[in-house]
A = this chain, B = another copy of it.
């Protein structure tokens, strides 16, 4: 039926077996077969075993000038903690287009973090008969990109603390001499990367001995303010005990302790750089200009100032190539970068989408996934990713489930690991109808970008016809181009054929140009406020307005409160000491300290002063509500959005406000997924992965 040679018809069982059993029941095509079907020859990719290949960036140069396929982004409504099957729908839609509708199609997915794979959530390869295979390789290690990010992130972190340490014990002259050691002939010289710093400092001399004492100081002494360091270490493990730590307690570190913490690796700025870069040369520049903190004079200090931008690029040189895999039905998938749309931007990479669009070609389809609800994933897809890529989507799919809509309509709380309330498994049309306010806002917000919106209702066995009709009607009333019920979990691509047809029509009939939510040339605060309004907020509160200032006595007896309101404390040993003092000094000194170090507005001011106000905004916000409060379901309005902290990812290219309390390091439950995971050592197959 299809022009593709790698299409595979999978026999569907009922009830649907476990994901890993479905995945293991199919012998995947050798990945070179999938590549061949995309007109890729062996010189275009590097194999990583039999079922994965890294597609080389050079493909883009080769196909420059050839036409692009249609560009479809898949977002969702505000999800329950169980997830509404967005990856599954993305895969199912592509299986429909490729294996049933005879289209060229490439799926672009994000590489999952190993943290949740072993934690509560499990893997992220889709589910049922809509999966990427081999699902164990997809979920674990893949081709090492996240490991490369971890290595690069932590090399930079080590470089920062070690530099502060060495500067503390050495004179300017000694520093210069060590930075520029003599060669065999006794001559000292600058390494290439040092010329970047010299240029930034406006020093045009070519040899170390030509520097004046003042220039030696400027060049050799970065003078990093330890309290200003925003660069944290990362690990791709759910390790809650690393959220806040003190480092440097060994005797050889001479008392230079500092409070800091680990984030999950995928929250690293380097992950964002990987997702947003467009070439090796661009990645080199972005990695070099990542800002890790300020000098004591308030100037931003970069990875290149530390001499490490080149080494970071070397560590990331293979990671820039996306990984080719396949769906159960044999359609091609590019996996690259970007999970965690709540604390990061949560989209797969620009390079993967660009390669995919060329490989799909005119009339073909690229379906890319944006994390969580459209308030975060799709918003960032449009305003950050498309802004940097200059790519234009034609269609946005919004995945909805009856379960999540009932929750938004007022249904009982949905908790992962606990049995679902009966409300979710028996017909209740009015609950569904009430919940459609959430869907409606996602539709109108997404439509505002100029794309056609298709709602995909990911059907569960317990959903009734009347409930499904209610969603369809509400979606069309809210301005959706179409709304389609699909059963790809149970039936594979066949269950998403109607969705495929709807998406095709939506793509062919787009009438408007891409419109961003905000222009770049307004202030940081105006941009934050534009996004807040799209959430339904009536305004924005920056952290100076938090109640703690008015009652330091209460806070001094509640250290947990201090920590949640003043999270930067963890980066700032010096301030902490001051604060302890301040509790015995009264409100004013506390105010002064918070005023100097913690206020979101102060940080916005600083970043504006440093010349970074032209960047787009990447909000770190809960995925469980349009608002900052995960318990606020439906379509809340009239609230004030609290901005607790503002950070900057200068290399990746965005300002990064933290909305309320957002953990950047997940934890493990009492019984993590890993209890079920093992290797069948006789067959070498992974068991128990979900």
Contacts and interface: CB of A to CB of B under 8 A. Distances in A.
A414 to B, nearest CB: 16
Interface in A248-280: 248-253, 256, 258-259, 261, 279-280
A685 to B, nearest CB: 9
Interface stretch (A46-54, A82-90, A348-356): A46-54
A520 interface: no
A54 B684 CA distance: 15
A560 B251 contact: yes
Interface residues of A, number: 102
Nearest to A148: B141
A351 to B, nearest CB: 14
Contact of A194 (B191, B675, B686, B689): B675
B140 A314 contact: yes
Interface in A168-224: 170, 175, 178-182, 184, 191-194
A44 to B, nearest CB: 12
Contact of A311 (B118, B162, B246, B318): B118
A433 interface: no
A668 interface: yes
A243 interface: yes
A236 interface: yes
Nearest to A259: B249
B136 A181 contact: no
A177 B317 CA distance: 47
Contacts of A247: 241-242, 245
A636 interface: no
B144 A314 contact: no
Interface stretch (A149-157, A392-400, A614-622): A149-157
A65 interface: no
A247 B166 CA distance: 25
Nearest to A30: B42
Contact of A141 (B144, B669, B672, B674): B144
A284 to B, nearest CB: 5
The residue in A246, A311, A663 that gathers the most chain B C-beta atoms within 10 A of its C-beta is A311
A281 interface: yes
Contact of A668 (B162, B318, B419): B162
Contacts of A668: 158-159, 162
A114 interface: yes
B178 A670 contact: yes
A307 interface: yes
A170 to B, nearest CB: 7
B192 A563 contact: no
A547 interface: no
A181 B671 contact: yes
A158 B676 CA distance: 17
Contact of A559 (B242, B243, B251): B251
A388 B682 CA distance: 22
B181 A241 contact: no
A39 interface: no
Contact of A193 (B136, B243, B249, B678): B678
A679 B317 contact: yes
A681 interface: yes
Interface in A597-623: none
Contacts of A541: none
Contacts of A193: 675, 678
A507 to B, nearest CB: 35
B46 A678 contact: no
Given A233-B242, A252-B663, 6 more contacts: A48-B49, A155-B674, A308-B674, A314-B677, A314-B678, A317-B679
7 contacts: A165-B240, A165-B241, A179-B670, A181-B671, A243-B250, A245-B248, A281-B682
Please give me the 5 A-B residue pairs with the lowest Cβ-Cβ distance, nearest first.
Answer: A310-B678, A147-B147, A311-B674, A158-B239, A243-B250
